[in-house]
Amino acid sequence: MMYDLNPYPKYKDSGVPWLGQVPEHWEVRRIKVLFREKDERSGDGRGVLLSLTRVRGIVPQAEASSRIASVEDLSKYKVCRPADLVMNRMQAWSGMFAVSPQEGLISPDYSVFGPTDACIIEYFEHLFKTPVLVDQFAQRSKGIGSGFNRLYTPDFGSVSIAVPPLLEQSSIVRYLDYMDRRIRRYIRAKQKLIKLLNEQKQAIIHQAVTRGLNPNVRLKPSGVDWLGDVPEHWKIARLVQLTTKIGDGLHGTPGYVDESEYHFINGNNLSGGAIRITPSTRCVSQVEFQKHKIALNDDTILMSINGTIGSVGFYRGESLVLGKSAAYINCDKPLMRSFLFFFLQSSAAKEFFQLELTGTTIFNLSLASIRNLSVVLPPLAEQIAISSFLEVRIAESDDLIDRAQRQISLLREYRTRLIADVVTGKVDVREVAARLPEEAEERELIDETETLTDDSEMPEDADHDELIEEAEA
pLDDT in tens, 20-76: 999 999 999 999 999 999 999 887 778 888 999 888 899 998 887 656 555 556 888
Average pLDDT for residues 87-105, to the nearest whole number?
Answer: 92
Statement: residue 143 has pLDDT above 90: no
For position 459, what pLDDT does the model report? 30
Write out pLDDT tens, residues 226-272: 999 999 999 999 999 999 999 999 999 899 999 999 999 999 999 98
For position 455, what pLDDT does the model report? 31
Indicate the burial class of 190 (C-beta count within 10 angstroms; 0-12, 13-18, 19 or more).
Answer: buried
**Half-sphere exposure in the Cβ direction for 370 (13 Å, CA):** 25
Write out pLDDT tens, residues 410-424: 999 999 999 999 999
For position 15, what pLDDT does the model report? 94
Statement: residue 336 has pLDDT above 70: yes
Write out pLDDT tens, residues 154-185: 999 999 999 999 999 999 999 999 999 999 99
H/E element, 197: helix 166-211
SS3 sequence of 250-270 = ECCCCCEECCCCEEEECHHHE
Average pLDDT for residues 332-336, to the nearest whole number?
Answer: 93
Statement: residue 199 has pLDDT above 80: yes
Per mean pLDDT, which range of 1-5, 39-43, 449-453 is the poorest? 449-453
For position 289, what pLDDT does the model report? 93
173 alpha-carbon distance from chain centroid: 26
Under DSSP, the state recorded for 435 is T
Per mean pLDDT, which range of 65-79, 132-146, 305-319 is the poorest? 65-79
Quick one: which of 94, 172, 95, 186 has its CA closest to 412? 186
Statement: residue 384 has pLDDT above 50: yes
Contact predicate 243/329, CB 8 Å: yes
For position 443, what pLDDT does the model report? 52
Q: How far apart are CA 315 and CA 327, in angstroms?
A: 12
Under DSSP, the state recorded for 49 is B
Average pLDDT for residues 287-294, to the nearest whole number?
Answer: 92
For position 468, what pLDDT does the model report? 37
> What are the angstrom distances between the C-alpha of 405 and each of 417, 447, 452, 456?
18, 12, 6, 10
For position 74, what pLDDT does the model report? 81
Average pLDDT for residues 286-312, to the nearest whole number?
Answer: 93
Q: How confident is the model at residue 456 (pLDDT cuts 50, 70, 90)?
A: very low
CA end-to-end span of the chain: 14
SS3 state of residue 227: coil
Average pLDDT for residues 122-128, to the nearest whole number?
Answer: 96
* CA angle (397 as vertex; 396, 399 as ends), nearest 5: 65
Statement: residue 312 has pLDDT above 50: yes
Show Cβ contacts of residue 298 under 8 Å, excluding neighbours closer than 6 positions. 315, 317
For position 359, what pLDDT does the model report? 83
Average pLDDT for residues 89-109, to the nearest whole number?
Answer: 92
Q: Which domains does the chain have, with CATH numbers?
A: 27-163 (3.90.220.20), 213-377 (3.90.220.20)
For position 307, what pLDDT does the model report? 84
Per mean pLDDT, which range of 75-84, 238-247, 355-364 is the poorest? 355-364
CA 143, 147, 150, 155 torsion-angle sign: positive
For position 66, what pLDDT does the model report? 58
Helix orientation angle between 337-344 and 166-211, rounded to the nearest 10 degrees:
130
Is the pTM of the predicted complex or chain greater than 0.85?
A: no
